[in-house]
């Protein structure tokens, strides 16, 4: 989480660019951690058992994953 927030700040906000959308990618379901990340402005996506991609509500809204 810290790395995403630092990159957002130093590579975008400090350079006068718009704040980027932040997404964390995982190889397995992260459970309640998805809600924690979203509370900090970070969407999340993870691999499902059938080889697809599920994600947090923000990732689903961006059409990057299906609802978990």
Round to whole Å and give the CA distance between 26 and 49: 13
- In the prediction, which pLDDT does 54 show? 96
Mean pLDDT value of segment 13-19 = 87
Question: How many residues are there in the chain?
Answer: 68
**Angle at 52 (CA atoms; ends 23, 24), nearest 5 degrees:** 15
pLDDT greater than 80 at residue 29: yes
Q: Supply the pLDDT for residue 43.
A: 96
Q: What is the pLDDT averaged over residues 5-29? A: 90
Alpha helix segments (H runs only) across the chain: 2-11, 33-39, 57-61
Tell me the percentage of the chain whose pLDDT exceeds 90: 68
């Amino acid at each position: 989480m810290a790395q995403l927030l630092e990159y957002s700040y130093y590579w975008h906000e400090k350079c006068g660019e718009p704040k980027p959308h932040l997404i964390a990618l995982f190889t397995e379901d992260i459970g309640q951690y998805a809600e924690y990340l979203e509370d900090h402005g970070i969407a999340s996506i993870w691999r499902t058992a059938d080889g697809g991609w599920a994600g947090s509500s923000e990732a689903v809204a961006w059409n990057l994953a299906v609802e978990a």
